[in-house]
Amino acid sequence: MNQKIWVIDDTPSDISIDRRHSNMPSGDVEKRRTRTDDETIALSNKGTTKNPALSFSLSLLLCGAGYLYLGRYRLGAVFASIQALLVLLLIGIFYYWDAIKNFSFVHTFEMSIFVFTGLVVILITMFLWLGSAVDAYRRTVQQLPDVYAGVDYEYLPVFANVLFPGWGHFLNGQPKRGSAYLMFGFVGLCSGLLTLAAWPIWSLIAYSPGARMFEIALFSAFLFVPLALVAWVVSVYDIFRIRIGDILRSHMPRTSAVLTLLLSISVGLHFMSGEYYMNLMDSVRTEMLQHNMTFLPEVVQSTQALLNLLLKINLA
């Protein structure tokens, strides 16, 4: 007699998982699996010994180094290549400077396009550099089981902020405030570099259609450099007040410190006579006119007229 034998298979819940996803579109199942894999990776990274301050500092010193520290080798190689291209670009400009200058005498319009494109590329590259440092810090913090409270060394964040505004705040576990100071430092650094390279760049585009646009950009850099310096000093005071200065924290809040700094600067400038500033602006305006500038001499002349009016009011 033929007998039926029933076999009960008590395998794990793979069948139930397949039945649960059988009515879902294949794309949703793939998303569900991918999301589960990401969660698994995140859980496996919990309790990591990676240091957010170190990952940020490495990326700030060498673009992509923070990603290499985290084991993101492809991402680190990409950002390291970006920095290498920036260095090669600057070396090439310095090495072929005479040839570039001779080319500018013949092709003025093309040279203005070349200069502005180069400035934009340098600006974007430096922005990606700082962005990679912030992203490396964020990735490291996400892998920690607890809230990051900063480094243990009291003076290290203060010293870091002296080198670059906002750096110390990241070492202190304050990324939002550090990002604000970091942006001031970034724009201030770009403005300072543009100011230092003004005359060499101007020699290339003095007779090009983009000369006036470059003067406007240079004027904006002149305005922002003092603001960036003030933000730099305030960032150093802020991190010093948080980490070390218990007396400063109670007797001089951050707003009062900013007002005191501005008052000190104004008092220091007041000790110099108005004639000194007038003579200084006259020499600057003459120098600009000799280099065929148009917009900046007009700004200096307007500033002189305003200064004369203020001096007359004070004398009255």
Residue 211: closest CA among 282, 93, 196, 219: 219
- Nearest residue to 274 (alpha-carbon basis) of 303, 244, 240, 231: 303
Radius of gyration of the chain (CA): 29
268 falls in which pLDDT band (50, 70, 90)?
Answer: low
Straight-line distance from the first to the last Cα atom of the chain, in angstroms, rounded to the nearest whole number = 128
Tell me the C-alpha distance between 56 and 67, whole Å: 9
CB 245 within 8 A of CB 238: no
Q: Please check the confidence at residue 118 and state whether its pLDDT lies above 70.
A: yes
Give the model confidence (pLDDT) of 45-87 as tens digits: 444 578 999 999 999 999 999 999 999 999 999 999 988 988 8
- Between 30-39, 263-272, 290-299, the lowest mean confidence (pLDDT) is in 30-39
Residue type, 177: R
Query: pLDDT exceeding 70 applies to what percent of the chain?
Result: 73
Which carries the bigger pLDDT value, residue 29 or residue 50? 50
pLDDT of residue 144 exceeding 80, the answer is yes
Residue 171 neighbours by CB distance under 10 Å: 27
> Residue 163's pLDDT band (boundaries 50, 70, 90)?
very high
pLDDT in the model for residue 16: 37
Mind listing the pLDDT tens digit for each residue in 297-310?
888 888 888 877 77
Q: Give the alpha-carbon dihedral of 260, 261, 263, 265, to 10 degrees.
A: 160
Q: Quote the CA–CA distance of 234 and 177 in Å, as a whole number.
A: 12
Residue 289: predicted pLDDT: 87
Distances in Å between the alpha carbon of 14 and those of 39, 127, 306?
19, 48, 81
Q: What is the mean pLDDT of residues 93-119?
A: 84
224 contacts 187 by C-beta, under 8 angstroms: yes
| Whole-prediction pTM | 0.71
